[in-house]
Chain A
Amino acid sequence: MWDLLNNLAFGVGVAASPQNLLLCLIGALVGTLIGVLPGLGPVATIAMLLPITYGLPPVGALIMLAGIYYGAMYGGSTTAILVNIPGESASVVTTLDGHQMAKQGRAGPALAISAIGSFFAGCVATVIIAAAAAPLTSIALLFGPAEYFSLMVLGLIFAVVLAKGSVVKAIAMILVGLVLSMIGSDLETGAGRLNFNIPELADGLGFVVIAMGVFGFAEVLRNLEVEHNRDIVQAKITGLMPTREDLIAAAPAIGRGTILGSALGILPGGGSVIAAFASYTLEKKLSKYPQKFGRGAIEGVAGPETANNAASQTSFIPLLTLGIPPNPVMALMVGAMTIHGIVPGPQVMTKQPELFWGMIASMWFGNLMLVVINLPMVGLWVRLLRVPYRLLYPLILIVCCIGVYSVNNSPTDVYLTAAFALVGYWLVKHDFEPAPMLLGFVLGPLMEENLRRAMLIARGDAMVFLQRPISAGLLIVSAILLVIAVLPMMRKKRDEVFVEEG
Chain B
Amino acid sequence: MAEGAPQATGPIRNPQDFWGGVAVLLFALFSLYAGSDLPGMRGFAFGPGTAPRLFGGLLAAVAVIIMINGLISHGPPLERWGIRAPVLFIASVVFFGATVRPLGLVISAFVTLMIASAASKEVRWVESAVWSALLTAASIALFVYGLNLPMQLWPR
Q: Do A and B come from one complex?
A: yes
The interface of chain A, by Cβ under 8 A from chain B, is 52, 54-55, 166, 168-169, 171-172, 175-176, 178-179, 182, 186, 188-189, 191, 193-194, 196, 217, 220-221, 224-225, 228, 388-391, 393-395, 397-399, 401-402, 405-406, 409, 411-415, 417-418, 421-422, 425-426, 429-432, 444, 448, 451-452, 455-456, 459-461, 502
Tell me whether B131 and A394 are in contact (CB under 8 A): yes
Binary interface profile of B, 134-154, with partner A (CB < 8 Å = 1, else 0)?
Answer: 011001000100011111000
Tell me whether A175 and B55 are in contact (CB under 8 A): yes
Q: Give every chain B residue within 8 A of A417 (Cβ-Cβ).
A: 93
Tell me whether A456 and B97 are in contact (CB under 8 A): no
Q: Give every chain A residue within 8 A of B132 (Cβ-Cβ).
A: 394
Q: Give every chain B residue within 8 A of A193 (Cβ-Cβ).
A: 35, 38, 48-49, 52
Nearest residue (CB) in A for B124 is A390
A456-B44 contact in complex given A179-B55, A179-B56, C-beta closer than 8 Å? yes
Tell me, rounded to whole Å, the shortest Cβ–Cβ distance linking B89 to chain A: 6
How many A-B pairs with Cβ below 8 Å?
191
Tell me, rounded to whole Å, the shortest Cβ–Cβ distance linking A6 to chain B: 36
CA distance A461 to B86 in the complex (A): 49
Tell me whether B117 and A394 are in contact (CB under 8 A): yes
Tell me whether B120 and A224 are in contact (CB under 8 A): yes
CA distance A220 to B82 in the complex (A): 12
28 interchain pairs, CB-CB under 8 A: A52-B147, A55-B147, A168-B66, A172-B66, A182-B31, A182-B55, A186-B48, A189-B48, A193-B38, A193-B48, A217-B93, A221-B89, A224-B119, A225-B85, A389-B122, A390-B122, A393-B119, A397-B89, A397-B113, A398-B139, A399-B139, A401-B100, A414-B97, A429-B79, A430-B16, A451-B51, A460-B41, A502-B2
CA distance A194 to B44 in the complex (A): 23
Given B38, B127, B136, which contacts A398 in the complex, CB threshold below 8 Å? B136
Tell me whether A182 and B147 are in contact (CB under 8 A): no
Given A179, A189, A401, A409, which contacts B52 in the complex, CB threshold below 8 Å? A179
CA distance A168 to B20 in the complex (A): 12
Q: Give every chain A residue within 8 A of B72 (Cβ-Cβ).
A: none
Tell me whether A182 and B63 are in contact (CB under 8 A): no
Tell me whether B43 and A460 are in contact (CB under 8 A): yes
Tell me, rounded to whole Å, the shortest Cβ–Cβ distance linking A454 to chain B: 10
Tell me whether A194 and B52 are in contact (CB under 8 A): yes
6 further contact pairs, Cβ within 8 A, besides A390-B123, A451-B51:
A397-B92, A401-B109, A405-B97, A430-B23, A452-B50, A452-B51
Tell me whether B109 and A402 are in contact (CB under 8 A): yes
Tell me whether B24 and A172 are in contact (CB under 8 A): yes
A224-B52 contact in complex given A168-B69, A411-B101, A415-B97, C-beta closer than 8 Å? no
Tell me, rounded to whole Å, the shortest Cβ–Cβ distance linking B76 to chain A: 8
A397-B112 contact in complex given A418-B94, A431-B16, A451-B51, C-beta closer than 8 Å? yes
Tell me whether A55 and B148 are in contact (CB under 8 A): yes
Interface pairs A-B: 9 shortest CB-CB: A460-B44, A414-B97, A186-B48, A430-B20, A175-B59, A224-B85, A418-B93, A411-B97, A191-B48
Main secondary structure of the interface of A (DSSP, over half): helix
| Interface size classification for chain B | 35 or more
Tell me, rounded to whole Å, the shortest Cβ–Cβ distance linking B32 to chain A: 9
The interface of chain B, by Cβ under 8 A from chain A, is 2, 16-17, 19-20, 23-24, 27-28, 31, 34-35, 38-39, 41, 43-52, 55-56, 58-59, 62-63, 65-66, 69, 78-79, 81-82, 85-86, 89-90, 92-94, 96-98, 100-101, 105, 109, 112-113, 116-117, 119-120, 122-124, 127-128, 131-132, 135-136, 139, 143, 147-151
Tell me whether A405 and B96 are in contact (CB under 8 A): yes
Nearest residue (CB) in B for A411 is B97
Tell me, rounded to whole Å, the shortest Cβ–Cβ distance linking B99 to chain A: 9
Nearest residue (CB) in B for A426 is B23
Q: Give every chain B residue within 8 A of A217 (Cβ-Cβ).
A: 89, 93
Tell me whether A388 and B79 are in contact (CB under 8 A): no
Nearest residue (CB) in B for A186 is B48
CA distance A399 to B140 in the complex (A): 10
Tell me whether B51 and A448 are in contact (CB under 8 A): yes
Q: Give every chain B residue within 8 A of A399 (Cβ-Cβ).
A: 139
CA distance A244 to B90 in the complex (A): 54
Nearest residue (CB) in B for A172 is B62
Q: Give every chain B residue within 8 A of A182 (Cβ-Cβ).
A: 31, 35, 51-52, 55
A393-B51 contact in complex given A168-B62, A398-B109, A411-B97, C-beta closer than 8 Å? no
Tell me whether A196 and B34 are in contact (CB under 8 A): yes
Q: Give every chain A residue within 8 A of B17 (Cβ-Cβ).
A: 166, 169, 430-431
Nearest residue (CB) in A for B15 is A430
Tell me whether B20 and A431 are in contact (CB under 8 A): yes
Q: Which of B28, B35, B85, B123 has the most CB of A within 10 A?
A: B85
Nearest residue (CB) in B for A430 is B20
Tell me whether A179 and B38 are in contact (CB under 8 A): no
Tell me whether A430 and B109 are in contact (CB under 8 A): no
